[in-house]
Amino acid sequence: MSNDQNYALRIEMLETCRRMNASGINQGMAGNLSVRTEDGFLLTPSSMPYDTMRPEDLVEMDFNGTYVGPRPSSEWRFHRDILRERKDVNVVLHCHSMYATTLACHHKTIPSFHYMTGVAGGTTIRCAGYATFGTQELSDNALVALKDRYACLLGQHGQISLGKTLERALWLACEVETLSRMYLQALTLGEPPVLPDDEMERVIEQMRRMSYGRAPDRDEVTDVARPRQIA
Protein backbone atom coordinates (compact mmCIF):
# COMPACT_ATOMS: atom_id res chain seq x y z
CA MET A 1 0.00 0.00 0.00
CA SER A 2 1.46 3.38 -1.02
CA ASN A 3 1.86 6.20 1.48
CA ASP A 4 -0.96 8.10 -0.25
CA GLN A 5 -3.31 5.09 -0.01
CA ASN A 6 -2.35 4.52 3.62
CA TYR A 7 -3.07 8.15 4.48
CA ALA A 8 -6.40 8.10 2.62
CA LEU A 9 -7.41 4.96 4.56
CA ARG A 10 -6.50 6.65 7.84
CA ILE A 11 -8.66 9.66 6.93
CA GLU A 12 -11.58 7.36 6.07
CA MET A 13 -11.18 5.54 9.39
CA LEU A 14 -11.30 8.81 11.33
CA GLU A 15 -14.42 9.90 9.44
CA THR A 16 -16.07 6.57 10.24
CA CYS A 17 -15.20 6.88 13.95
CA ARG A 18 -16.77 10.33 14.05
CA ARG A 19 -19.83 9.07 12.20
CA MET A 20 -20.20 6.34 14.84
CA ASN A 21 -20.61 9.00 17.50
CA ALA A 22 -22.67 11.37 15.32
CA SER A 23 -25.12 8.55 14.50
CA GLY A 24 -25.61 7.80 18.20
CA ILE A 25 -24.33 4.21 18.09
CA ASN A 26 -21.30 5.17 20.14
CA GLN A 27 -20.47 7.64 22.89
CA GLY A 28 -17.28 9.45 23.86
CA MET A 29 -14.13 7.33 23.61
CA ALA A 30 -15.99 4.00 23.75
CA GLY A 31 -15.74 1.57 20.87
CA ASN A 32 -12.92 0.95 18.41
CA LEU A 33 -12.30 0.27 14.74
CA SER A 34 -9.80 -1.70 12.65
CA VAL A 35 -9.11 -2.17 8.95
CA ARG A 36 -6.98 -4.82 7.26
CA THR A 37 -3.86 -3.66 5.40
CA GLU A 38 -1.32 -5.50 3.26
CA ASP A 39 0.95 -6.23 6.23
CA GLY A 40 -1.48 -6.33 9.16
CA PHE A 41 -4.14 -3.87 10.23
CA LEU A 42 -4.75 -0.30 11.37
CA LEU A 43 -6.47 0.14 14.74
CA THR A 44 -7.73 3.07 16.76
CA PRO A 45 -5.55 3.96 19.76
CA SER A 46 -6.47 3.67 23.42
CA SER A 47 -8.17 6.51 25.33
CA MET A 48 -8.09 9.13 22.60
CA PRO A 49 -11.18 11.19 21.64
CA TYR A 50 -12.23 10.76 18.03
CA ASP A 51 -12.68 14.51 17.60
CA THR A 52 -9.02 15.21 18.32
CA MET A 53 -7.56 12.03 16.82
CA ARG A 54 -5.21 12.58 13.87
CA PRO A 55 -4.45 10.19 11.00
CA GLU A 56 -0.99 9.51 12.40
CA ASP A 57 -2.53 8.47 15.74
CA LEU A 58 -3.95 5.28 14.22
CA VAL A 59 -1.88 2.28 15.24
CA GLU A 60 -0.17 -0.08 12.79
CA MET A 61 -0.37 -3.63 14.14
CA ASP A 62 0.94 -6.99 13.00
CA PHE A 63 -0.89 -10.25 13.59
CA ASN A 64 1.86 -11.22 16.04
CA GLY A 65 0.68 -8.43 18.37
CA THR A 66 3.50 -5.95 17.76
CA TYR A 67 2.63 -2.36 16.87
CA VAL A 68 3.95 1.02 15.76
CA GLY A 69 2.42 4.23 17.11
CA PRO A 70 0.46 5.05 20.26
CA ARG A 71 -0.82 2.34 22.59
CA PRO A 72 -3.52 0.38 20.73
CA SER A 73 -7.08 -0.10 21.91
CA SER A 74 -7.38 -2.53 24.79
CA GLU A 75 -9.56 -4.66 22.50
CA TRP A 76 -6.77 -5.26 19.97
CA ARG A 77 -6.96 -9.02 20.55
CA PHE A 78 -10.41 -9.52 19.09
CA HIS A 79 -9.60 -7.20 16.18
CA ARG A 80 -6.47 -9.26 15.43
CA ASP A 81 -8.18 -12.61 15.87
CA ILE A 82 -11.26 -11.76 13.82
CA LEU A 83 -9.24 -10.37 10.92
CA ARG A 84 -6.89 -13.35 11.07
CA GLU A 85 -9.75 -15.86 11.20
CA ARG A 86 -12.17 -14.16 8.80
CA LYS A 87 -10.58 -13.65 5.41
CA ASP A 88 -13.99 -12.61 4.06
CA VAL A 89 -13.99 -9.28 5.94
CA ASN A 90 -11.62 -6.32 6.14
CA VAL A 91 -13.23 -4.19 8.85
CA VAL A 92 -14.09 -4.82 12.51
CA LEU A 93 -16.28 -2.19 14.17
CA HIS A 94 -17.02 -2.32 17.89
CA CYS A 95 -19.38 0.07 19.65
CA HIS A 96 -21.54 0.39 22.75
CA SER A 97 -24.82 1.24 21.05
CA MET A 98 -27.60 1.74 23.59
CA TYR A 99 -30.23 -0.83 22.56
CA ALA A 100 -27.84 -3.57 21.48
CA THR A 101 -25.96 -3.16 24.75
CA THR A 102 -29.23 -3.31 26.70
CA LEU A 103 -29.95 -6.72 25.17
CA ALA A 104 -26.34 -7.75 25.76
CA CYS A 105 -26.73 -6.92 29.44
CA HIS A 106 -29.38 -9.66 29.56
CA HIS A 107 -27.30 -11.99 27.36
CA LYS A 108 -30.16 -12.04 24.83
CA THR A 109 -29.64 -13.39 21.34
CA ILE A 110 -31.74 -11.59 18.72
CA PRO A 111 -33.99 -14.19 17.02
CA SER A 112 -35.51 -13.95 13.54
CA PHE A 113 -38.47 -11.96 14.86
CA HIS A 114 -38.01 -9.70 11.81
CA TYR A 115 -36.63 -10.72 8.42
CA MET A 116 -33.88 -8.06 8.63
CA THR A 117 -32.13 -10.21 11.24
CA GLY A 118 -30.73 -11.93 8.16
CA VAL A 119 -28.43 -8.97 7.41
CA ALA A 120 -26.00 -10.45 9.95
CA GLY A 121 -25.77 -13.61 7.85
CA GLY A 122 -27.94 -16.07 9.76
CA THR A 123 -31.22 -16.72 11.54
CA THR A 124 -30.01 -15.03 14.74
CA ILE A 125 -27.64 -12.36 16.01
CA ARG A 126 -25.91 -14.22 18.81
CA CYS A 127 -24.77 -12.83 22.14
CA ALA A 128 -21.25 -13.84 23.15
CA GLY A 129 -20.59 -14.90 26.72
CA TYR A 130 -19.24 -12.27 29.07
CA ALA A 131 -15.49 -11.89 29.61
CA THR A 132 -13.36 -9.05 30.95
CA PHE A 133 -12.67 -6.40 28.33
CA GLY A 134 -9.35 -6.63 26.55
CA THR A 135 -8.81 -10.32 27.36
CA GLN A 136 -8.15 -13.31 25.15
CA GLU A 137 -11.26 -14.91 26.62
CA LEU A 138 -13.39 -12.09 25.24
CA SER A 139 -11.82 -12.55 21.82
CA ASP A 140 -12.44 -16.30 21.94
CA ASN A 141 -16.08 -15.75 22.91
CA ALA A 142 -16.57 -13.24 20.10
CA LEU A 143 -15.18 -15.65 17.51
CA VAL A 144 -17.70 -18.30 18.61
CA ALA A 145 -20.63 -15.85 18.39
CA LEU A 146 -19.46 -14.60 14.97
CA LYS A 147 -19.22 -18.04 13.37
CA ASP A 148 -21.07 -17.74 10.03
CA ARG A 149 -22.21 -14.25 11.06
CA TYR A 150 -21.25 -10.65 10.36
CA ALA A 151 -22.39 -9.27 13.71
CA CYS A 152 -22.82 -10.28 17.33
CA LEU A 153 -23.57 -8.84 20.73
CA LEU A 154 -21.01 -9.04 23.52
CA GLY A 155 -22.44 -10.06 26.88
CA GLN A 156 -22.74 -7.05 29.21
CA HIS A 157 -20.57 -5.03 26.85
CA GLY A 158 -21.73 -3.96 23.36
CA GLN A 159 -21.74 -5.15 19.76
CA ILE A 160 -19.35 -6.06 16.94
CA SER A 161 -20.14 -5.61 13.25
CA LEU A 162 -17.96 -6.74 10.34
CA GLY A 163 -17.70 -5.71 6.72
CA LYS A 164 -15.68 -5.71 3.55
CA THR A 165 -15.60 -1.92 3.73
CA LEU A 166 -15.86 0.75 6.41
CA GLU A 167 -19.16 1.90 4.94
CA ARG A 168 -20.64 -1.61 5.10
CA ALA A 169 -19.50 -2.24 8.68
CA LEU A 170 -20.97 1.07 9.86
CA TRP A 171 -24.24 0.38 8.03
CA LEU A 172 -24.49 -3.05 9.65
CA ALA A 173 -23.79 -1.67 13.13
CA CYS A 174 -26.65 0.80 12.66
CA GLU A 175 -28.94 -2.03 11.44
CA VAL A 176 -28.07 -4.15 14.49
CA GLU A 177 -28.93 -1.21 16.72
CA THR A 178 -32.25 -0.67 14.92
CA LEU A 179 -33.12 -4.38 15.22
CA SER A 180 -32.19 -4.31 18.90
CA ARG A 181 -34.53 -1.39 19.50
CA MET A 182 -37.38 -3.09 17.61
CA TYR A 183 -36.84 -6.33 19.51
CA LEU A 184 -36.89 -4.57 22.87
CA GLN A 185 -40.11 -2.80 21.93
CA ALA A 186 -41.66 -6.04 20.66
CA LEU A 187 -40.78 -7.72 23.96
CA THR A 188 -43.05 -5.29 25.82
CA LEU A 189 -45.97 -7.18 24.23
CA GLY A 190 -44.44 -10.56 24.97
CA GLU A 191 -41.93 -12.76 23.18
CA PRO A 192 -42.62 -12.18 19.45
CA PRO A 193 -43.07 -15.05 16.99
CA VAL A 194 -40.03 -15.90 14.88
CA LEU A 195 -39.81 -16.65 11.18
CA PRO A 196 -39.08 -20.31 10.36
CA ASP A 197 -35.57 -21.27 9.26
CA ASP A 198 -36.64 -22.13 5.71
CA GLU A 199 -38.10 -18.66 5.24
CA MET A 200 -34.94 -17.08 6.68
CA GLU A 201 -32.88 -19.13 4.22
CA ARG A 202 -34.92 -17.58 1.39
CA VAL A 203 -34.49 -14.12 2.92
CA ILE A 204 -30.71 -14.50 3.30
CA GLU A 205 -30.37 -15.76 -0.28
CA GLN A 206 -32.46 -12.82 -1.49
CA MET A 207 -30.22 -10.43 0.45
CA ARG A 208 -27.14 -12.07 -1.02
CA ARG A 209 -28.47 -11.61 -4.54
CA MET A 210 -29.29 -7.96 -3.85
CA SER A 211 -26.08 -7.15 -2.01
CA TYR A 212 -24.92 -4.70 -4.67
CA GLY A 213 -28.29 -3.10 -5.22
CA ARG A 214 -29.42 -5.46 -7.98
CA ALA A 215 -33.00 -6.67 -8.17
CA PRO A 216 -33.74 -10.28 -7.19
CA ASP A 217 -33.18 -12.77 -10.00
CA ARG A 218 -34.56 -16.01 -8.59
CA ASP A 219 -36.10 -18.18 -11.30
CA GLU A 220 -39.56 -17.85 -9.84
CA VAL A 221 -39.42 -14.05 -9.79
CA THR A 222 -40.95 -12.63 -12.96
CA ASP A 223 -41.78 -9.08 -11.86
CA VAL A 224 -38.24 -7.65 -11.93
CA ALA A 225 -37.38 -3.97 -11.98
CA ARG A 226 -35.19 -3.04 -14.96
CA PRO A 227 -33.43 0.18 -16.01
CA ARG A 228 -35.58 2.29 -18.31
CA GLN A 229 -34.38 2.52 -21.88
CA ILE A 230 -34.20 6.18 -22.94
CA ALA A 231 -34.86 6.72 -26.63
Catalytic residue among 75, 137, 175, 220: 75
Cα separation of 155 and 102, whole Å?
A: 10
If we measure between CA atoms, which residue out of 66, 67, 44, 47 comes closest to residue 57?
Answer: 44
What is the DSSP code string of 83-127?
Answer: HHH-TT-SEEEEE--HHHHHHHHTTPPB-SSSGGGGGGTSS-B-E
The beta-strand segments (E) located in the chain are: 32-36, 41-43, 59-61, 67-68, 91-95, 127-128, 151-154, 158-163
75 given a catalytic annotation: yes
User: Which residues are marked as active site?
Assistant: 75
